[in-house]
Structure 1
Amino acid sequence: MFTSRGPTLRELAVQALSSVERGYDLLAPKFDLTPFRTPDRILDETAEALRPLGPFRDGLDVCCGTGAGGRVLRALCRERAVGVDFSAGMLHEARRAHPGAVLVRADARALPFRPVFDLAVSFGAFGHFLPRERPGLFAQVHSALLPGGVFAFPVGAPPHFGTLPYWAMLGFDTVMRVRNRVWRPGFVMYYRTFPLVEVLAELRRTGFDVELTPLEGLGRRPDGTPRCAVVVARRRA
């Protein structure tokens, strides 16, 4: 899962025992060498799924990290592509990788934007928000979008019960819950706290019309269900 140039086990342990912000500041220089970085294939498939919904003018990458999601915005938006993240270390790496990118340090739970964007995306960040925080997060994105603007993010199919990925995700979340009971500061990162049915309902309550589009380029599982889909939430006029 990790290359020889990626973070060492000790570095990962230090990150896991830090706060979320400090942990990502520490991990930032090697983040793109880890499996936590969203693969280009998912980014490109997401861009292709969103292309027919455009044209878009201004885009926002929520929790942009080192800037990988900017790849989608640059492919779809004619004017600005803005990234926002609360980790100074991740933004530093994003500026190094993407000179001239518009990057803002801010908490996604308190976005400093007026409704000026017609597209917002996010990749791989929702595990850092507790379920009780999701409605507020979605409301912040909603407030940054123009009427009719689109909020989109990919979601992978949940692993089937009893499979190795199922037990791996359950084990990781269990370890993190124990860690957060006995160690401070907390590090919020869970894989099983983002159930799609609840998420879609929360988006609708926030004021979005929601669709789910399979990313066919990523294939289907043996039972015929898509391996990945993109949630397309459009702010109601």
Structure 2
Amino acid sequence: MFTSQGPTLRELTVQALSSVERGYDLLAPKFDHTPFRTPDRYLDATGAALTRLGHFGSGLDVCCGTGAGLRVLRTVCQQQVTGVDFSAGMLEEARGAAGEQAGAAGPEVRWVRADARALPFRDAFDLAVSFGAFGHFLPEERPVLFGEVHRALRSGGLFAFPLGAPPPLGSPLHWSLLGFDAVMRVRNLVWRPPFVMYYRTFALSGVRGDLERAGFAVELYPLEEFGRRPDGSPKCRLVVGRKR
């Protein structure tokens, strides 16, 4: 799962026994060499789908990590893009990567340290995206999270993110994710501070309801690059909430 440049088992153990913020501060220098970094195929598919929905003025990457998602915003936004994360270590890595690309054409890039549950923006963006971060929020936190993104968007603005279909019941991946979540729940029962990271708490039905209650009109777009399941449903969708 990890390259030779990724974290060691000892480093991962220390990170897992830390808070979410501290864990990601420690992981940040090697994060892009782990499977936790959103694969390029998801970023590219999202960017292609958003291009078909139009071009945007300003964009926000919620829980931006080391900044991989900014490549999507830079392709569809014309004015300014902003990455927000609560990990200082992640933002430092993102700034460094952006500095290496400083000569590239595109919108202005800025970075803000903040908790996604208390965003310091109001009516500021035309598009918000997020990649791979929702497992760090418990289901009961989603209304606050989605409400903050809603307030950060201008009227008619979009909140978009890819969401994969759950693996088939009985598949190795299903049992792997189930086991991971079980281990994390036990860890959080016996160890403080908690490290919130679950893979099976972000089901489409609940997410769609929370988005609608936050004030979004929700549309689903199949990402055909990932194919379809035997029943014909897409293996991955782009969830798009439009601020009413």
TM bracket, shorter-chain basis: over 0.9
Aligned-pair identity in percent equals 71
2:240 partner SS: strand
What residue number does 1:130 align with?
138
What amino acid is the match of 1:229? R
Unaligned runs of 5+ in 1: none
What amino acid is the match of 1:79? Q
What residue number does 1:155 align with?
163
Q: CA deviation at 1:157?
A: 1.0
Cα distance in structure 2, aligned partners of 1:98 and 1:86: 18
What residue number does 1:62 align with?
62
What residue number does 2:106 align with?
none
What residue number does 2:45 align with?
45
Q: CA deviation at 1:225?
A: 2.3
User: Number of aligned pairs?
Assistant: 236
Q: State whether structure 2 residue 153 is matched by structure 1 residue 145.
A: yes
Cα distance in structure 2, aligned partners of 1:138 and 1:20: 20
Q: State whether structure 2 residue 209 is matched by structure 1 residue 201.
A: yes
Cα distance in structure 2, aligned partners of 1:163 and 1:41: 23
1:6 partner SS: coil
What residue number does 2:105 align with?
none
1:23 partner SS: helix
What residue number does 1:107 align with?
115
Cα distance in structure 2, aligned partners of 1:55 and 1:69: 16
TM-score (norm 1): 0.98
Cα distance in structure 2, aligned partners of 1:226 and 1:114: 34
What amino acid is the match of 2:159? F
What amino acid is the match of 1:108? A
Cα distance in structure 2, aligned partners of 1:112 and 1:187: 24
Unaligned runs of 5+ in 2: 103-108
What amino acid is the match of 2:63? C
Cα distance in structure 2, aligned partners of 1:53 and 1:146: 16
More moved, 224-233 vs 65-74: 224-233
Give runs of aligned pairs for residues 1-237 of structure 1, distance below 5 A. Answer: 1-99=1-99, 101-236=109-244
Q: CA deviation at 1:55?
A: 1.9
CA RMSD of the aligned region, Å?
A: 0.9
TM-score (norm 2): 0.95
More moved, 103-112 vs 221-230: 221-230
Q: CA deviation at 1:217?
A: 1.4
